[in-house]
Amino acid sequence: MIKIENLYKYFDGREILHDISCEFESGKTNLIIGQSGSGKTVLMKCLIGLYEAEKGNILYDNRNFIKMAKKDRQILQQEMGVLFQGGALFDSMSVKENVLFPLIMLSNLNESERNDRAEFCLERVNLQDSQHLYPSQISGGMKKRVAIARSIALNPKYLFCDEPNSGLDPKTSLIIDELIYELTHEYQMTTIINTHDMNSVMAIGETVSFIHEGKLWWKGSKNEILNTDNDELNSFVYASKFAQHLKRK
């Protein structure tokens, strides 16, 4: 479980996150939704330690990430898997080397164990046949899957995904969403997913937090989201013509 208490983040005196308090449950896909620019990425980067929050606490199963020494932080970071928006694959390495990398740098496995683990992860995302290709040679959806394989290589307890299906077609998006959902339940990870895609919300949103202008505006389940009287949330949910059409029905 990840718990955020009264988190604030400023950039050059501008308040980006305002008093965010929230809980994300273990073994579930916790979605953070909101318009572009609302602060989702900044929040995630605070959670994984890339940005320093000015005020507040972040508790990973009661371990306070904010108050930790740098060394302890690095140890906790090894329990996190992160899927960046663009995939962030290492261009100079092949697909398999990308998955091997965290195993080489951070695990105590020997070479054949590492190899087995990398192959297992690649198989899990259905990429066993593309091991030797380089990131520049594969499609956007495949890049996301490699990034997923790399992020689960070390068996993380916490998985962070920043817009996992940005730039993908609806069908591929669905495959990626389902993959993340399955992995979350398979390994009982606490998964946090940033998205602005209502399709993802309806498909895999076990808990949904709505961020608007840096504030946590609403929290609930995907079933509650369609019948809320929160104006900002409604304008977000029913932004697409398609959704408006359904609502009128």
Partner 1 sequence: MDKNSSLKLGYTNRSNLKMNFLEVLLQDIGEYILLMKRVIAKPKNKAYFRKQLVDEINVLCINSLLIISVISIFMGAVITIQTNLQIENPLLPTWTIGFVVRQSVVLEFAPTIVSIFLAGKIGSHIASEIGTMKVTEQVDALETMGINSASHLILPKIIASSMVNPLLIIISIFLGLLGGWGACEFLGTIPSSQYIEGIRSWFESRDIYYALVKAFVFAFLISSISGFWGYKTTGGALEVGKTSTKAVVSSSFMILLFDLIITEIFFG
Ligand X SMILES: Nc1ncnc2c1ncn2[C@@H]1O[C@H](COP(=O)(O)OP(=O)(O)O)[C@@H](O)[C@H]1O
Phi, psi of 41, deg, nearest 5: -65, -40
99, 121 Cβ separation under 8 angstroms: yes
Min CB(96)–ligand X separation in Å: 31
Rounded to the nearest 10°, the torsion over CA 60, 64, 70, 73 is -10
**Applying CB under 8 A, does 128 fall inside the site for partner 1?**
no
Only one of the segments 21-29, 43-51, 211-219, 220-228 lies at the binding site for partner 1 (rule: CB under 8 A); that segment is 43-51
Q: Which is nearer to ligand X, 41 or 200 (CB)?
A: 41
Min CB(227)–Mg ion separation in Å: 27
Q: Which of 17, 34, 42, 45 binds partner 1 (CB under 8 A)?
A: 45
Binding-residue pattern over the window 25 to 54 for ligand X, x denoting contact by CB under 6 A: ---------x-xxxxxxx------------
5, 168 Cβ separation under 8 angstroms: no
Q: Which is nearer to Mg ion, 33 or 121 (CB)?
A: 33
Structure tokens at 9: 């983040």
Q: Which of 6, 10, 11, 111 binds ligand X (CB under 6 A)?
A: 11
d(CA 224, CA 242): 19
Q: Please, which of residues 82-111 interact with partner 1 by CB under 8 A? A: 82, 84-86, 88-91, 102, 104-106
Amino acid of residue 98: N
Q: Which is nearer to Mg ion, 29 or 41 (CB)?
A: 41
d(CA 166, CA 194): 10
17, 139 Cβ separation under 8 angstroms: no
State in Å, rounded, how far the first CA of the chain is from the last one.
39
**Applying CB under 6 A, does 86 fall inside the site for ligand X?**
no
**Applying CB under 5 A, does 165 fall inside the site for Mg ion?**
no
